[in-house]
Structure 1
Amino acid sequence: MTFSILPAAHPVATTTAAAAKAPAAATNPLDDLRHYWDISVAWVNSHWLQIGIAVGAGLLIYVLLSMVRTFALKHAQSAEGDLTLTHIAGRVIHKTRSSVIAIIAIRMVAGYAQPPAAIMQTIQFVFTVAVVLQVAIWVREIILGLIQRRAAEGNNETLSNAMGIIRLLISVALFAIAVIVILDNMGVNVTGLIAGLGIGGIAIGLAAQGIFSDLFASLSIIFDRPFRVGETIKYDTSTATVERIGLKSTRLRSVNGELLVISNTNLLAKEITNFAHLHRRRVTFTIGVIYQTTPAMLRDLPALLEEQVKAAGHEFIRSSFLTFGPSSLDFELLFDVFTDDFEAVVAARTDVAIRLFEAMAAAGYEFAYPTQTTFTAAPDGTMIMPYAESPKPKASAARTAKPG
């Protein structure tokens, strides 16, 4: 009698082969659950040593990652000041979930234990979902931290009030992207979903175009800072002080006392002059002297003007003859005053003007003022002078007598 000894089939392989030969028809969920249970039991029985080593390594990785998170969080929280970059990093670390650390540790050691395909796919799916959602939370905290840091630098009340809306918009956008990434990793065709979200976003944007336009204009003002609360600006033909920057409009107080309420979109659509950022201001004088001024005095006048500007402590730019006016010879004087305070500029302009008046009066210059001469004609066309003529000398009445 002939005996043949065949190698024993591996439990997992036998079960897998049997599963492969099973019909593709729909089965009872209880049978499927029992089937996966049998696979898991067979895997544990055949790989118990590798599983034990993987569990130990996973626990060690989890403990190490938790210690790193705790150390980084304490270091970030011990930093001085609020809303610094270190403080923002601490907020991000604080939002790191222990469950995410656990699934990362499991994913790192899962390959060593050689789990069945179904268990490995489950681990991979849970890992993808946890990591994608955790990254979305990290990105949200970084963006919100930077926005709040920007608001704290300018002590901006508007941005602080808008943080609720900003948090909602950022959260919706980031988690929508996270869901799309998760579905794409699951093998779902997300092209239609992305197209639908795009069309929906366009519809919402068109419906709330005015609101979003003013909101983004407000954020542009807050972050770009063309002006701040308390600064004086010139908008269109109005000069006013900024009182409040709102989500939809900005309130300005004009120099005459009126309250101007302008939408943020319209405010940014025109040129704005911010007087608070003028580190120097240019002052211009036009000085007219009479036509009777001598040519020598006219040549000396620019040097006299320059001397007085420098004596007042300001930067002289130029002084030159400008034009022949209707009743004066006009000179132009330009100089710069280096200060941010407009009141100091006004005082400097007054000081220079008084100095010029004193110096020119002492040098014999006469300031011109509008004059007009009227000439009158007699009926015969003879010009009648506007002043009395000097009397003509009378002819001598005495005549020399002729000899008789």
Structure 2
Amino acid sequence: MTKPTAEPGPVLPEPLSAAEVEQKLNGLWAWISAHSVEIAIAAGVGTAIYLALAFLQRHARIYAERQDDRLSVAAIVARTLSKTKQYFLIMVSARLVVGFSEAPAGIVQVVSFLFTVASVFQVAIWAREIILGMIERRATVSDDAGSETLANAMSLIRLLVTVVLFAIASIMVLDNLGVNVTGLIAGLGIGGIAIGLAAQGIFSDLFAALSIIFDKPFKRGETIGFDTTTATVEKIGLKSARLRSVTGEEIIISNTNLLSKQIINYTRLNRRRTRYMIGLVYQTPPDRARLVPAMLREIVEQGSGVFVRCGFVGFGASSIDFELDFDVMSSDFEVVFEARHRIGLSILERFNAEGLEFAYPTQTSFTAAPDGRFVLPYPEGGYSLAAEDHR
């Protein structure tokens, strides 16, 4: 049975001897002596390129600082370019002129490698600024609570975006160095899955908070309804939202749980509809009942409401029923409540003045003698139970 052979490790280069070091230095000096003019020109051109790029970087920073709307696309691009690092400008300049001076292969390799490293990390910085800028732009809100929530969330988002982008950049650099990054990528993937499972509740509420910021189903100060609860939003946090119910209690509910419900936003209504069910006694004359819709229209319009409809809807157990719909042209619940109060009392006052009686549950009992004839009270005509039995 053969034993498995161990995989060979990376072969380290042997250290240079003194003679080899001296030989390389002599070769470098010979290159400098033979191409001094080209090197000087390359250095001058590289310096000019660096100064031009630095000027553009400074101009982008000034432009970004002078923008009134810091979340416009132009401001985000300018702010991104202003984050360009000096080492990247230096390596861009060196990479552009290194071939002009006919540099040795070793120097070209070093410059190319450093340029690759600088470019990878600079692109990661640019990508981070663009991503964060577009997130802020998409989540722009006008209320302080939304801005506070976004500010709290952005610190965590910045950390997550930075870790992800620079991890990718580091893997790319290691791959350029010839390191086998397959195991590293697998390890990072497994670690990410483990962290995600352990903190799925936290991330779920965080993403729910971001959904509220981005989609804006409601904002601070707006009145919403969910399940059987009606409350005013006081604060939107990273994990939970705080609301004040109409009866005064503070309601704390997780963002995930809140978004999983059907939410009614009452504040964004430009009008609110109210419906009154009005029952009149059966003794109401039909000609008087026909006047009820016009009478209610007049009451609603005098009470600053918008009449929608009114009419007879059915025969109740103890009443003839009318239905009244009207709108109050306001999104403020207090204004709507006051209008409903005013119109309701006006209906009561007008019906009393017109002699229209509101119905309430009633039951009439008739008493019969042993022979089947009614005794007082009894209906007119001397109705008899016995006569009913013989029909």
Range class of TM-score, shorter chain: 0.7 to 0.9
2:213 corresponds to 1:249: no
Distance 1:25 1:330 in 2: 97
8 Å contact from structure 2 (residues 318, 362) kept in 1? yes
What is the aligned partner in structure 2 of residue 140 from structure 1? 128
What is the aligned partner in structure 2 of residue 293 from structure 1? 284
Residue 202 of structure 1: how far off its partner (Å): 0.3
Identity, % of aligned positions = 52
Q: How does 1:320-335 map to 2 (within 5 A)?
A: 320-335=311-326
What is the aligned partner in structure 1 of residue 195 from structure 2? 204
Distance 1:33 1:356 in 2: 107
What is the aligned partner in structure 2 of residue 60 from structure 1? 48
What is the aligned partner in structure 2 of residue 13 from structure 1? none
8 Å contact from structure 1 (residues 151, 160) kept in 2? no
What is the aligned partner in structure 1 of residue 359 from structure 2? 368
Distance 1:125 1:302 in 2: 87
Residues 1:82 and 1:111: Cα distance change in structure 2 (over 3 Å): same
**Paired residue secondary structure (2:163):** helix
Cα deviations across residues 89-137 of structure 1 (Å, max 9, x unaligned)?
4543432222211111122222333333322222121111111111212
When the two chains are superposed, the root-mean-square deviation of aligned CA atoms in Å is 3.1
Distance 1:260 1:119 in 2: 67
Unaligned runs of 5+ in 2: 1-10, 383-391
Residues 1:103 and 1:390: Cα distance change in structure 2 (over 3 Å): closer
- Bigger radius of gyration among the two: 1
Distance 1:109 1:321 in 2: 91
Residues 1:153 and 1:302: Cα distance change in structure 2 (over 3 Å): closer
**Paired residue secondary structure (1:29):** coil
2:355 corresponds to 1:352: no
Residues 1:365 and 1:33: Cα distance change in structure 2 (over 3 Å): farther
Q: How does 1:112-261 map to 2 (within 5 A)?
A: 112-147=100-135, 150=139, 153-155=142-144, 156-261=147-252
Residues 1:251 and 1:388: Cα distance change in structure 2 (over 3 Å): closer
8 Å contact from structure 2 (residues 366, 378) kept in 1? no
Amino acid paired to 2:41: I
Distance 2:80 2:221 in 1: 35
What is the aligned partner in structure 2 of residue 29 from structure 1? 16
Residue 162 of structure 1: how far off its partner (Å): 4.1
Residues 1:142 and 1:318: Cα distance change in structure 2 (over 3 Å): same
Residue 27 of structure 1: how far off its partner (Å): 4.0
Cα deviations across residues 214-250 of structure 1 (Å, max 9, x unaligned)?
2222232333332333333223222223333333222
Distance 1:82 1:56 in 2: 37
Task: Return the TM-score normalized by structure 2.
Answer: 0.82
Distance 2:13 2:358 in 1: 109
**Paired residue secondary structure (2:68):** coil
Cα deviations across residues 230-278 of structure 1 (Å, max 9, x unaligned)?
3332232222233333332223333333333222222222222222222
Amino acid paired to 1:244: K
Distance 2:55 2:380 in 1: 114
Residues 1:120 and 1:181: Cα distance change in structure 2 (over 3 Å): same
Residues 1:293 and 1:385: Cα distance change in structure 2 (over 3 Å): same
Residues 1:238 and 1:321: Cα distance change in structure 2 (over 3 Å): same
Distance 1:191 1:256 in 2: 60
Residues 1:116 and 1:368: Cα distance change in structure 2 (over 3 Å): same
Residues 1:184 and 1:372: Cα distance change in structure 2 (over 3 Å): same
**Paired residue secondary structure (2:231):** strand
8 Å contact from structure 2 (residues 92, 115) kept in 1? yes
8 Å contact from structure 2 (residues 31, 103) kept in 1? yes
Unaligned runs of 5+ in 1: 1-23, 392-404
Distance 1:242 1:138 in 2: 37
Residue 33 of structure 1: how far off its partner (Å): 4.8
Amino acid paired to 1:122: V
Matching residue within 269, 277, 282 for 2:268: 277
Number of aligned positions between the proteins: 368
What is the aligned partner in structure 2 of residue 340 from structure 1? 331
What is the aligned partner in structure 1 of residue 385 from structure 2? none
Moved more, 58-67 or 364-373: 364-373
Amino acid paired to 2:15: N
Amino acid paired to 1:238: T
Residue 187 of structure 1: how far off its partner (Å): 4.4
Residue 206 of structure 1: how far off its partner (Å): 1.0
Distance 1:115 1:238 in 2: 76
What is the aligned partner in structure 2 of residue 110 from structure 1? 98
Distance 1:210 1:25 in 2: 47
Matching residue within 67, 71, 92 for 1:79: 67
